[in-house]
Amino acid sequence: MIMKKKNRKFDIETPDKVEDSRFIDILIKRVENFLLNELYIEDGDRILVAVSGGVDSITLLDIMVRLSRIHNLKIFPVHFNHKLRGKQSDEDEKFVKKISTSCGLQFFSGYGDVKQYARKNSLSIEHAARILRYNFLERAAHHFNCSIVATAHTLDDLAETFFLNLFRGTGLTGLCSIPKKRPLTRKISIIRPLLNLSKEELIIYAEHIGLKWREDETNLLMNFTRNKIRRKLLPFIKDEFEPSIAEKINRTAKLLTGADRFIREYIISILDKITFNKTSEGFSIKLNMFNSLDEFIQGEILQDLITTKYQQTPLPMNIVDRIKALADSNIGTIVDINKYLFALRDRNSIIIGKRKKNLVKRIEIEKPAVMGALAEYEIDGNKIFLSEVNKRSVRLVESGTVEFLDFDLVASRLLIRRWQKGDSFTPLGMKGKMKVSDFLINNKISLNEKQDVLLLTTGNDIIWVCGLRIDDRFKITGNTTRYLRVELVKHI
């Protein structure tokens, strides 16, 4: 629905046209000063403006267009269609395109199925929409060669986010609420030019200069926590306790941001000392150093490591507390951080990693039938190669990723599978049996790495703990006449 509201009573009164003009000029000047003095915008900058079609973003676009004429800014309005409201969502997109075109600006839009993405990834609608929206903004910024993205977050949004994170228990970082500027990528920054303005001020501005905008009826629904804060909690606090609650929260958030920045600098200075085994899948935290830190710093380190590496929203404090408790838990204790991440107590560390899902448990294979033939098999990205070679090609290596077996002792049909509790074999050089679990412990294979260990077997007997050790019963000897080369290439 397109809105152009009139004759509404506000706390801020503008009794005549002179006052109206003065109010508009002052508001624009406030945004200009904020852009130049706190967001460090320079003449000639290329700025992407995210426009939903609501009063906040339409006002932002109007002000940015006005300031572009003064500071030679290049403005590019973009719109992301969340496809949440059917025809209404499409009408929002058409409306923003029409407004952009009327301003003589290039327009760029994108869309995403938020409900499907949320369902597929077990996310809330709000979180899923945020991920898809910011992914789109990154693409759009690259499209227009912009290093700055402006969004229409206001003082009211900051207050709502403060309470939202307070109720979630997200710690100091979450209570900083919405930053005035933050990186979207290494080369792209998000700025919030309206963060010092209330929504009420924006509506007054929009009405006085005759802007039109569209109302999103989902903002009135009570089944979203943010909407309950917006429609019930904040009005109650304003009426019963503090009319300027948003401004008070803004000042508090600025103080917390300063403290958070100081703590982050300290955390960054010790991260390399406290973490190790850092890969794309996860990392480990040294327990001896972790235990020597204050509990508050422990929580902030976990928040920083997990939210930064995996691009997560701040963790609820109950999850942070459960991860911290791993320091006093039994080896092997696991905490589910979310659907995709876990924390695990290892011997001398806490491991944070991605949960491996839908792993293949076993595949049947065959050894090559003739000399020189190469048999190749893959299981979850790991590749196993088998080939018969002559004696001259036998070259023993220490890594364990390449081994040589007595070809005649190995059955034609084989099985590659994941190790299981109770599995045992005779490690090369030993006489008796050893449990695979004990062998992995002796070789300091971490609990996280154990889930990747594969076995080459005959079905009943283990031939090779892949990449680590062959069974002594299948080794080559002076009596060996045919040689089977096996190689593991691990998925990275």
**Each residue of 364-382: pLDDT tens digit?**
999 888 887 889 998 888 8
What are the beta bridge partners of residue 76?
Answer: 48
Q: What secondary structure letter does DSSP report for 210? A: T
- For residue 358, the model assigns a pLDDT of 60
State the pLDDT at residue 371: 85
Q: pTM for this one?
A: 0.65
What are 209's two structure tokens?
């200069």
Q: Burial, 131: exposed, middle or buried (Cβ in 10 Å; 0-12, 13-18, 19+)? A: middle
CA-wise closest residue to 404 among 490, 464, 478: 464
Q: Which residue has the higher pLDDT, 20 or 80?
A: 80
Q: What is the predicted pLDDT for the residue at 7? A: 41
Q: Which of 142-156, 163-177, 423-437, 475-489 has the lowest mean pLDDT?
A: 163-177
Mean pLDDT of all residues in 149-176: 88
Q: What is the mean pLDDT of residues 380-386?
A: 88
pLDDT at 13 over 80: no
The pLDDT of residue 355 is 73
For residue 259 the two structure tokens come to 């403290």
With pLDDT > 70 as the criterion, what percentage of the chain qualifies?
A: 93
- What's the pLDDT score for residue 221? 52
In sequence order, the 6+-apart residues with CB closer than 8 A to the CB of 430 are: 472
User: What residue type is assigned to position 190 of the chain?
Assistant: I
Distance (Å, rounded) from C-alpha 337 to C-alpha 352?
9
- From CA 444, how far away is CA 274, in angstroms rounded? 19
- pLDDT per position as a tens digit, 230-277: 889 999 999 999 999 999 999 998 888 888 888 888 888 998 899 888
Structure tokens at 98: 């029409």
**By C-alpha distance, which of 145, 82, 134, 80 is closest to 108?**
80
Q: How far apart are CA 239 and CA 28, in angstroms?
A: 29
Segment 287-311 shows an average pLDDT of 87
- For 41, the token pair is 């915008």
Secondary structure of the chain: what % helix, strand, coil (to 5)? 45, 20, 35
Q: Which span out of 87-91, 120-124, 360-364 was modeled with the highest average pLDDT?
A: 87-91
In 284-429, which ranges are continuous DSSP H helix? 287-291, 295-310, 317-325
Mean pLDDT across the stretch 401-419? Answer: 92
Measured in degrees and rounded to the nearest 5, phi and psi for residue 418 equal -85, 145
What does pLDDT average to over the chain?
87
Q: Band of the pLDDT at 11, cuts 50, 70, 90?
A: very low
Name the residue with higher pLDDT: 102 or 19.
102
Q: Which tokens go with 105?
A: 């600006």
Q: What are the structural domain ranges in the chain?
A: 2-253, 277-354, 362-489
Mean pLDDT calculated for residue range 198-227: 82
Q: How confident is the model at residue 396 (pLDDT cuts 50, 70, 90)?
A: confident
Decide: 476 and 394 in contact? Cβ < 8 Å. yes
What is the rounded average pLDDT of the residues 187-215?
A: 94
Helix, strand, or coil (residue 115): helix
Gap between the terminal Cα atoms of the chain: 51
Q: What per-residue confidence (pLDDT) applies to 357?
A: 63
Amino acid code (one letter) for 318:
N
CATH number, span 2-253: 3.40.50.620
pLDDT score, position 36: 96
Cβ of 415: how many Cβ atoms within 10 Å? 16
Q: Check whether 444 has a pLDDT greater than 70.
A: yes
Q: Does residue 10 register a pLDDT over 80?
A: no
Q: What is the mean pLDDT of residues 332-346?
A: 84
Domain spanning 277-354 has what CATH number?
3.30.465.60
Instruction: Tell me the pLDDT band of 1, cut-offs 50, 70 and 90.
Output: very low
Inform me whether the pLDDT recorded for 15 exceeds 60: no
Percent of the chain clearing pLDDT 90 (strictly above): 52
Mean of pLDDT values over 76-85? 92
Alpha-carbon torsion (109, 112, 114, 117), positive or negative: negative
**CA nearest to 109, candidates 127, 87, 86, 91:** 91
pLDDT of residue 12: 44
In the DSSP assignment, the letter for residue 427 is B
Q: What is the reported pLDDT for 448?
A: 66
From the list 418, 416, 423, 277, the residue with the least C-alpha distance to 352 is: 277
Query: Which DSSP state fits 314?
Result: P
Identify the CA nearest to 164 among candidates 249, 263, 83. Answer: 249
Q: Where are the alpha helices (DSSP H) in 38-170?
A: 55-71, 87-102, 114-121, 125-143, 155-168
Dihedral over alpha carbons 324, 328, 332, 333 (to 10 degrees): -60
* Per-residue pLDDT at 8 exceeds 50: no
d(CA 405, CA 398): 15
Q: Give the mean pLDDT of 165-169.
A: 83
In this prediction, residues 328-332 reach a mean pLDDT of 84
